[in-house]
Amino acid sequence: MKKEFALGEVDWQELIEQVRVEMEKGTDPTSESVQLLARRWRNLIEEFTGGNPEIEKSLNTMYQQEGSEVASRNSFDTRICDYICKAITVLKN
């Protein structure tokens, strides 16, 4: 289990960095490259939550209520999440 968690953490770090690069380049969230990243983001969330919509809802609520505080503790740029959320919204449509 620890090994799987560590692999998931590496996946997240790599994905976050790739999203950061696209965001900083000003790539439109609807572009194909960002849509691929959005799909990967969704897949990692589904793996993390086991596909349970209630867990995902709880994660979204936590981010909305505590996002900036958690982000500052973990040195996470909330703009990245806002950017990829725009891309994910397009995926759902």
- CA gap 37, 42 in Å, rounded: 9
Q: How many domains does the chain have?
A: 1
Q: pLDDT for 73-86, tens place per residue? A: 555 678 898 899 89
User: What DSSP character marks residue 1?
Assistant: -
Closest by CA position to 43, among listed 82, 12, 64 = 12
Whole-number Å distance between alpha carbons of 86 and 71: 18
Helix (H, G, I), strand (E, B) or coil at 43: helix
What is the tens place of the pLDDT at every residue in 36-90?
999 999 999 888 888 888 887 887 777 666 655 655 555 567 889 889 989 999 9
Query: What range does the domain containing 40 cover?
Result: 2-92
Local structure of residue 93 (DSSP, 8 states): -
Phi, psi for 34 (deg, rounded to 5) = -75, -35
